[in-house]
Amino acid sequence: MSYRNEFEFRAFGLKRSGNHPIIMWIASLFDNPVYFYNCCDVDPFRTRFPENKVSEVLNLFHKNDDTYRWNEEDLDEIRCKKKNCIIYSYENKELKEFTEFIKDYINEEYMVGTSKHCYDILILRDFYNFVASTIYKRRRNVLSNHKTNYDDGKDIWVDGYMRVLKLSKLWVEYAKEFIEETDYLNNKISISFNQWVSDEYYRMFISSILGLRYSDKTLDYIGHFGQGSSFSNVALDGQAKDLDVLNRWKAFEDNSLYWNIIDNNPEAVELSNRIFGRTVDEY
């Protein structure tokens, strides 16, 4: 059988959950640059984010053209090109609705092509640190008493608070898929961001499942996607191991609004503690 792609990875994760570090790491397991299409709507080749950079010292990704507005005839050459590895990411998607839509309405064989090795990657971060990184914005605590307004007059802390309340329900959906209470993804590999960060043997285990040679060469680098880390942007690129990503919740240790979100999401807390263990001190 003829394959268009040797390896295909569909990555699913919520924003601020470590998607890009893990995608960078998977790309680093290949000897040659991979094709990466970031934050897709449906069709990877129609994304507004055809990523081709990560750091000046790493060459992980092919230089992808911005094909968002190309006509289909011009796009066909890139779409049908033989690829050793293609990775494309979906962020903040409702898994059930999205995968059913893909199945019912999208010709995946045409869109991406057949692949010899095809995996769905599900990335999950513990609820406490997910909430903290989602609220924290551009190096500042948006739930602080000091209010900074947007141009439209909306208080920035209100925006952060409402955003994370909405995403908390989506986190529960991802957690249930992670523990296989649901089964929306295909040939799924679930990756705990917490364990991936802290445990080299876990990373080695994941690479062995993929049948790829282990590497850790990206662990010191922050992907230049969007603004990088919520807490430090890309200031620690080259020193990413110094990011205290498992203790982001401590920025909100004395913040009643943060704990209000935690206390009002008991299902998320229960699932987080079951999957990751208790990741915060007693409160």
Sign of the alpha-carbon torsion through 13, 17, 19, 20: positive
Q: How confident is the model at residue 110 (pLDDT cuts 50, 70, 90)?
A: very high
Q: How many CB atoms lie within 10 A of CB 81?
A: 13
Give the model confidence (pLDDT) of 255-277 as tens digits: 888 888 999 999 999 999 999 99
Higher local confidence (pLDDT), 56 or 254: 254
Which residue do the tokens 């917490």 mark?
194
User: Quick one: CATH architecture of 5-276?
Assistant: 3-Layer(aba) Sandwich (3.40)
pLDDT given at position 66: 87
Q: What is the pTM of this model?
A: 0.87
Give the model confidence (pLDDT) of 154-173 as tens digits: 555 666 677 778 899 999 99
- Give the sheet arrangement for strand 188-192, strand by strand: 35-37, 83-91, 5-13, 115-124, 188-192
The 10 Å CB-count burial string (b at 16+, else e) for 38-58 is bbbeebbbbbebbbbebbeeb
Give the model confidence (pLDDT) of 29-69 as tens digits: 999 999 999 999 999 999 988 876 555 567 899 888 889 99
Domain boundaries, the chain: 5-276
Give the model confidence (pLDDT) of 183-225 as tens digits: 999 999 999 999 999 999 999 999 999 999 999 988 887 655 5
Cα 175 to Cα 193: distance, rounded to the nearest angstrom: 12
Are 22 and 193 within 8 A, CB to CB?
Answer: yes
